[in-house]
Amino acid sequence: MKSERLLIIGVILLAIVFIVPRLKPILFETASEHAVNKFNIHYFDNLVGPKQPTPTKTALFNELRPHQSLERYAYGKNSRMAVLLTTPNPSWLGLAHALKTFGIPFIITTNVAEALQHKVVFTYPELPGKLDSSQLDAIRNFPARGGTLIATNVLGGGMSYMFGFDKIIPSKDRHDIHWNTQHPLASDFLDPREKVATLGHDGLIGSYSFTNPAETPLAKFEDNTAAITQRHIGNGRAYAFGVDLGYYLISGYNNPDLPIARCYVNQLEPSLDTMMRVVKRIYQQSEPNAVTVWTVPKGKDLSVIYTHDIDYAQSIVNAVEYAKYEKAQGIRGTYFTQVKYIKDFNDEHFFNKRGVRYLKQLDDLGMEIASHSVSHSRQYSRFKLGTGNEMYPTYVPLVINNSTTYNGTVLGELRVSKFLLDNFRPSMQPNAMVTGRPVVSFRPGVLSVPRLLPEAMEATGYLYSSSVTADNSLTHMPFQLNYTYAFRQEAPVFEFPITIEDEEKPKMGSRIQPAIDLANKLKRYGALFVVLIHPNVLDHKLAFEKQLTQAVKPYAWFGSISDFGDWWSARNEVQVDVIGPRQVQLQVPKPIDGLSVVVPTDWTLKSVKVIKGNAVTVTQSGQRVQLTNQFSGNAVLSF
């Protein structure tokens, strides 16, 4: 018996010594050990890069970053809305970015007396917050003195009587907010999706309802309780929102995969937009000097951007046909190009000598060349940041199947694709006839978004992202991103979400009328309309683009992601203040072409005085006042 036992132990030991090491490559295979077959890579002669590393051990990649300073949003005249922060460091960036997007001039302050100098005050995130009793008294008396107060999370502070309700009832089980479309503030919400905003069905957005409202509510929940109350007090008004608007906004901007939206793409999902349209109208009706910044270049009604994802061998050939059509129409499209020098599970390599010939044609036709990653991996959202030293041709992300990719990094996808695209573009050569600019726009394959994308884009020289759908973001407007899609600090990167795409059924060519109908709804509030067409086929998809162009041309501005992004980021810096009777001061630090402001109905332009900067021509059409040429500097418009 003893010798048998020894034999068994011996066999086990032999197994450990000989078999386990052979299993190791299967069991413990790591990315760096994964074999790269050199024959699967397309090598361009002597090409290596980018040689400049991307630093990763910097504050940019420290997720414990400090909270955004108020400094940038602290200054402005009393004609602006005042956002009064009542607790330290709430998620106010959501509100700030939405106010910027909708062109509502504002300041943010923690000083109650300063806030109450303004006609319209938004207390955020809650009342009473950290305010003392004398500060709360001042706020309670503000509407009676003619001010307009907007508040979220009215939890106490003796405010309920002034707002006109008895009690609040919290819940995580309310799903819908029904606007009172009899009310002038919501009377142009015509579509069912405008009439009802969604909070989702997963309890992600909590809410408060208000009992026994003194006046007809501006909106109700599906259980018929008050969601947004209104009260007239003398010449003043008070509105209490039963949702935390800043948190709701940031949930749409930051978390496109949360199950809140009612649809994914190709439809109208304006839940955040209707909220902000109401806030904008409250400002316009309550502030006699309400001058807002318009959202579309050249005073048009809708910003239309054609984007094309090249992620398949035939697509790079067909793309040139789309580009020729667009050039003939005077339109610049954006060509998100996968830099596919590796043959893998997805496809053969098409970023090779032949692919580069077509890329050069797109560049020569004046189209925007943008990055659609190297690997087009479905796992991009889970990639590690990387070393910042990834280079062609040693960076070899290998897509094994739909659920496995080896060797890929967040930075590798960004820096190596940008390097190769810029390297081959004729407009980037030193002797170019028309000088281009480096690639600045990015869209990941299958919209797989890593949390570190905003900072990784900044670190690698990108400015503009089109990586989510509008419907999933609950908004058809552009917005600024925050680092790590969190709430502490804003990144110098803007998102332009996708409105229409070509993969849902029925096929794109038979969806032209719904797309035109959607454009007609979005033009009513100056929204963004980003179209994604994969150029894998011409046929019905090119026909779609041609029909759409003809239909929206009378009211649309057309341009690429970078054209619009440059315009949008310059607009983001514009400061608007009313400095005297009907005197509007525009501070425009970055050059912008075709900026418009919207003035009160009875204002007529009398004169324009440039204090600093180049000469400018200004025209007025109704309430819209447009600077028709490129301008930067400081000007005063008198009405």
Enumerate binding residues for Zn ion (CB under 5 A): 309, 311, 445
State the amino acid at position 199 in one-letter form: L
Q: In angstroms, what is the minimal distance from the CB of 306 to Zn ion?
A: 15
Q: Which is nearer to Zn ion, 309 or 326 (CB)?
A: 309
Write phi, then psi, for 549 (nearest 5 degrees). Answer: -55, -50
Q: In angstroms, what is the minimal distance from the CB of 372 to Zn ion?
A: 6
Q: In angstroms, what is the minimal distance from the CB of 375 to Zn ion?
A: 11
Q: In angstroms, what is the minimal distance from the CB of 327 to Zn ion?
A: 23
Strand (E) positions, 25-163? 81-85, 106-109, 120-124, 148-152
Q: Which is nearer to Zn ion, 241 or 306 (CB)?
A: 306
Pairing of strands 368-371, 334-337: parallel
DSSP secondary structure, 271-337, as one string: HHHHHHHHHHHHHHHH-TT--EE-SSGGG-SEEEEEEEEE-SHHHHHHHHHHHHHHHHTT---EEEE
Compute the residue count for the chain.
639
Q: How far is CA 579 from CA 122, 290, 293, 582, 616, in A?
A: 22, 12, 16, 8, 20
Q: In angstroms, what is the minimal distance from the CB of 599 to Zn ion?
A: 43
Q: Which is nearer to Zn ion, 502 or 563 (CB)?
A: 502
Tokens of residue 373, six digits: 């990653």
Residues 16 and 87: their CA atoms lie apart, in Å, by 61
Residues 235 and 148: their CA atoms lie apart, in Å, by 9
Q: Which is nearer to Zn ion, 346 or 482 (CB)?
A: 346
Q: In angstroms, what is the minimal distance from the CB of 376 to Zn ion?
A: 6
Q: Which is nearer to Zn ion, 311 or 577 (CB)?
A: 311
Residues 265 and 269: their CA atoms lie apart, in Å, by 9
Q: In angstroms, what is the minimal distance from the CB of 249 to Zn ion?
A: 28
Q: Which is nearer to Zn ion, 157 or 445 (CB)?
A: 445
Q: In angstroms, what is the minimal distance from the CB of 360 to Zn ion?
A: 21
Q: Which is nearer to Zn ion, 337 or 596 (CB)?
A: 337
Q: In angstroms, what is the minimal distance from the CB of 398 to Zn ion?
A: 18
Q: In angstroms, what is the minimal distance from the CB of 445 to Zn ion?
A: 5
Q: In angstroms, what is the minimal distance from the CB of 50 to Zn ion?
A: 23
Give the CA-trace dihedral at 509, 513, 518, 523, to 10 degrees: 110
Neighbour count for residue 409 (Cβ, 10 Å): 25
Please identify the residue of the shown chain whose CB is closest to the bound Zn ion. 311
Q: In angstroms, what is the minimal distance from the CB of 545 to Zn ion?
A: 18
Which residues lie closer than 8 Å to 10 by C-beta, 6 or more apart?
A: none
Q: Which is nearer to Zn ion, 373 or 632 (CB)?
A: 373
Q: Which is nearer to Zn ion, 311 or 326 (CB)?
A: 311
Q: How far is CA 592 from CA 495, 555, 573, in A?
A: 19, 20, 10
Residues 598 and 409: their CA atoms lie apart, in Å, by 45
3-class SS of residue 82: strand
What sign for the dihedral angle of Cα 497, 501, 505, 508?
positive
Q: Which is nearer to Zn ion, 309 or 501 (CB)?
A: 309
22: left (phi over 0), alpha (psi -120 to 50) or beta: alpha
Structural contact between residues 541 and 315, judged by C-beta atoms closer than 8 angstroms: no
H helix intervals, 188-304: 192-195, 245-254, 271-286
Q: Which is nearer to Zn ion, 386 or 445 (CB)?
A: 445
Q: Which is nearer to Zn ion, 446 or 610 (CB)?
A: 446
Tokens of residue 473, six digits: 């973001």
